[in-house]
């Protein structure tokens, strides 16, 4: 079994990010009739929880029904359990919840790299260090797995 490198994993994630963005826009629009046209009030925990559930269902459905999001399908990747079995909803939940810190660090690094003036006023840590800290395990592991793969007992393989 062959495993995709970090670059190909990021390409699949980039593709999926456009789908997630569109999905969360639609999910948010669906709430407007119930919130009198207000998207989200400050510190609205309910809206955050609702969008988290939408994201979880998005990934969970794709991963439990064939093991591929659309981005993974394009880049010929499949998510399976370490035992070779399809991923279940529990494993999907663990992947989503443990993936949040890594993606947040990556996005913070990206923002700090694009806006270096913000970076200098906030921290002396280089922007690239934030970006790679969330993905470093993929570079260190011999099967290109990250720590959310390990915690969810899953891994991504290359398909034909």
Range with the largest mean pLDDT of 3-12, 85-94, 142-151: 85-94
The reply to whether 152 falls in a domain is: yes
pLDDT tens sequence across 92-108: 999 999 888 877 777 77
The reply to whether 1 falls in a domain is: no
The reply to whether 73 falls in a domain is: yes
The reply to whether 82 falls in a domain is: yes
**Number of domains the chain is built from:** 1
Q: What is d(CA 4, CA 31) in angstroms, rounded to the nearest whole number?
A: 38
pLDDT tens sequence across 109-126: 777 778 777 656 666 667
Q: Which domain holds residue 94?
A: 6-158
The reply to whether 76 falls in a domain is: yes
Helices first, then strands: H and E counts in the chain: 8, 2
The reply to whether 40 falls in a domain is: yes
Say yes or no to pLDDT of 42 above 60.
Answer: no
The reply to whether 55 falls in a domain is: yes
Better pLDDT: 91 or 98: 91
Q: What is d(CA 27, CA 23) in angstroms, rounded to the nearest whole number?
A: 6
Identify the pLDDT of residue 77. 96
Q: Which residues of 133-160 are buried (b: 16+ CB within 10 A; e: fewer)?
A: bbbbbbeeeeebbbbbbeebebbbbeee
CA angle, 123 as apex, 122 and 129 as ends, to 5°? Answer: 130
Q: What confidence tier does 35 reach under pLDDT thresholds 50, 70, 90?
A: confident
Q: What confidence tier does 46 reach under pLDDT thresholds 50, 70, 90?
A: confident
Identify the pLDDT of residue 69. 97
The reply to whether 137 falls in a domain is: yes
Q: Residue 68: helix, strand or coil by DSSP?
A: coil
Half-sphere exposure of 126 (CA within 13 A, CB side): 4
């Amino acid at each position: 079994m062959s495993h995709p490198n970090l670059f190909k994993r990021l390409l699949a994630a980039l593709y999926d990010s456009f789908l997630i963005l569109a999905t969360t826009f639609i999910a948010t629009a669906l709430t407007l009739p119930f919130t009198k046209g207000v998207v989200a009030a400050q510190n609205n925990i309910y809206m955050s929880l609702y969008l988290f559930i939408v994201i979880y269902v998005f990934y969970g459905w794709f991963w439990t029904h064939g093991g591929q999001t659309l981005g993974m399908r394009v880049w010929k990747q499949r998510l399976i359990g370490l035992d070779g079995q399809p991923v279940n909803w529990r494993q999907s939940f663990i992947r989503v919840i443990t993936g949040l810190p890594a993606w947040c660090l990556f996005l913070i690094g990206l923002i700090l790299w694009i806006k270096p003036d913000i970076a200098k006023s906030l921290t002396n840590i280089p922007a690239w260090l934030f970006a790679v800290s969330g993905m470093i395990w993929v570079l260190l592991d011999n099967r290109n797995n990250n720590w959310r793969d390990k915690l969810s007992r899953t891994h991504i393989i290359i398909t034909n």
